[in-house]
């Protein structure tokens, strides 16, 4: 893969980031009914980018992935994290997550909280996150729970 760069997102990136978020969920095989229910929460708007810390990973002229950090008084929250399916398994997620941790480390507070898709739980564990609980996340009448993680940086 050509050189990867990570930069702050621009509001003009919003539609592409939304497309990446939806493609990643679709790649995991979720039913279209669930994707429709999640559309609002997976949509990244220009206002969201202006109001939060959002980074994009770019290579060969294409956005490959992104992450969003939401600052709270005592911790940071991972608001979004998505890698386009055709770019998974290439180390982009690892580099993007390390970049997010560097950002948190440099600004404090030094705690990152993550509510993870179950398919991404192993990734966060490999990145050093500690599982601390679960969060109810029903969708389309199906009871689900999402793993919750913390990372002290």
pTM above 0.85, yes or no: yes
Per-residue pLDDT tens digits for 13-24: 999 999 999 999
Q: Is the pLDDT of residue 1 over 70?
A: no
- Please check whether residue 149 is in contact with residue 132, taking contact to mean a CB–CB distance below 8 angstroms: yes
Q: Look over the chain and give the mean of its residue pLDDT values, rounded to a whole number.
A: 96
> Residue 49: which residues within 8 A CB-CB, separation 6 or more?
9, 10, 11, 13, 14, 17
Per-residue pLDDT tens digits for 77-133: 999 999 999 999 999 999 999 999 999 999 988 999 999 999 999 999 999 999 999
Distance of CA 50 to the CA centre of its chain: 17
Structural domain boundaries in the chain: 4-152
The architecture in CATH of the region 4-152 reads 3-Layer(aba) Sandwich (3.40)
């Amino acid at each position: 893969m050509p050189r990867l760069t990570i930069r702050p997102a621009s509001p003009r990136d919003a539609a592409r980031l939304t497309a990446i978020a939806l493609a990643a969920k679709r790649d995991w095989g979720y039913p279209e009914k669930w994707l429709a229910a999640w559309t609002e929460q997976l949509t990244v708007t220009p206002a969201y980018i202006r109001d939060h810390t959002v980074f994009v990973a770019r290579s060969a002229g294409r956005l490959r992935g992104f992450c969003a950090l939401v600052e709270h008084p005592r911790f940071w929250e991972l608001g979004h994290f998505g890698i386009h399916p055709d770019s998974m398994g290439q180390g982009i997620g690892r580099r993007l997550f390390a970049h997010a941790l560097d950002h948190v480390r440099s600004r404090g507070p030094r705690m990152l909280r993550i509510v993870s898709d179950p398919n991404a739980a192993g990734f966060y564990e490999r990145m050093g996150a500690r599982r601390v609980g679960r969060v109810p996340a029903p969708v389309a009448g199906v009871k689900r729970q999402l793993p919750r993680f913390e990372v002290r940086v």
